Amino acid sequence: MHMHTIYSDGDLYPSELITKARDIGLKAISVTDHDTVDGLESVEHECKKMGLQFIPGIEFTTNFDPLGIEVHVLGYGFDKDDPYLQKKLEITKKRAWKYADEMVDLLSSHGWLVDYSRLESAKGIITKHDIALAVVNRDMSTYEFHDMWLTERSKYFIDVEKFQIEEAIDIIHKAGGKAVGAHLIRTLDQYNSLPLLADVVDHFVKCGMDGFEVFYGKNNWQQVKSMLELCRTYGLIMTGGSDYHGPGRVGRCPLGSYNLHNFKHDEEKLLKILSRSPIPASGSIV
């Protein structure tokens, strides 16, 4: 669970990702591209072809106004064709293009050459990764360029209009899915707000959050323990995910991997909660 394709900021096509998932022995996956479900039809087709269970997924980029930070909300097990969901995702596409146009103008004013046709041919939704890849005269890696020009730490930062966290949860629920807070410890740590973890979880639960990503990538023992205890306190769903974007990504776990640190995690039960289709008889789960 929690992986990305070229339909947002991943490196692999759905067919490549699902083939890789099958080859390493996974039996159920959920692709959670950022703010789009455009790739899910292809993902579902490939899953059926290769005998994997398909769980519809998405990762909403949201605002959390009390702290003024960006928080990601995963949606699982929803109706990907839900009209209300589709209507809201059209808004995210328009916002992404508005941001891209503003960023391209800014980069051009500083001497960067942007291949706009590459943005026009991008699948799914335009992301910062697409913009970094489209700069043709950069003398640094995609990731170095992203950090220098496109992150909140950059003096050239332009914000993207986003849904409030309550809105994203509501959209997921109306489409019949479960809302799960993604990599919350990592997010709060990035904003130097980790001491507020318990208060933030309490607020999100009051907003309707169904669970949290407890087993995330390379989270250490204490981080997993903290999230697990909070989820148990509120009786929430506990998920795990590698946040896989493709081979060679720095700081990411391999596909199908995350650290359990010997904590118990009932993956079969989780799949039943999130599923909209039967579970295959054999294989592994992530």
Following DSSP, what letter does each residue of 92-125 receive, concatenated? Answer: HHHHHHHHHHHHHHHHHHTT--B-HHHHHT--SS
Token pair 């592994």: residue? 284
Amino acid at position 164, single letter: Q
Reported as a pLDDT band with limits 50, 70 and 90, residue 51 is very high
Q: Which two tokens mark 131?
A: 């913009």
Q: What is the pLDDT of residue 259?
A: 75
pLDDT score recorded for residue 267: 80
Question: Residue 254 — very low, low, confident or very high, per pLDDT cuts 50/70/90?
Answer: confident
Q: Say if residue 141 is exposed, middle or buried (CB neighbours under 10 Å; 0-12, 13-18, 19+).
A: exposed
Q: Taking 70 as the threshold, does the pLDDT of residue 277 lie above it?
A: no
Two tokens, residue 101: 């146009």
pLDDT tens, residue by residue, 189-225: 999 999 999 999 999 999 999 999 999 877 889 999 9
pLDDT number for residue 286:
47
Residues 125/38, Cβ–Cβ less than 8 Å: yes
User: Which residues, other chains included, contact 197 with Cβ-Cβ below 8 Å and sequence gap of 6+?
Assistant: 184, 185, 188, 226, 230
Give the SS3 label for residue 242. Answer: coil
Question: What pLDDT does 96 receive?
Answer: 97
Is pLDDT above 90 for 185? yes
Cβ contact 255:20 at 8 Å: yes
Please tell me the predicted confidence (pLDDT) of residue 276.
Answer: 59
Mean pLDDT of the 17-33 span: 94
Could you report the per-residue pLDDT of 56-107, keeping only the tens digit for each?
Answer: 999 999 999 888 899 999 999 999 999 999 999 999 999 999 999 999 999 9
Tell me what percent of the residues of the chain surpass a pLDDT of 70: 95
Angle formed by the axes of helices 197-206 and 221-234, nearest 10°: 40
CA distance 254 to 242: 7
Alpha carbon distance 60, 74 (integer Å): 6
Q: How confident is the model at residue 251 (pLDDT cuts 50, 70, 90)?
A: low
Question: How many whole angstroms separate alpha carbon 272 and alpha carbon 142?
Answer: 39
End-to-end Cα separation, the chain, in angstroms: 5
> Strands, DSSP E only, in 42-132?
53-54, 57-64, 69-76
Residue 241 confidence (pLDDT): 86
Distance CA 96, CA 174 (A): 23
State residue 255's pLDDT score. Answer: 87
Q: What is the pLDDT of residues 136-159, one digit of tens each?
A: 999 999 889 999 999 988 999 999
The burial class, CB within 10 Å (0-12 / 13-18 / 19+), for 186 is middle
- Rounded percentage of the chain residues whose pLDDT exceeds 90: 78
Mean pLDDT for the chain?
91
Residue ranges in 5-70 assigned as alpha helix (H): 14-23, 40-50
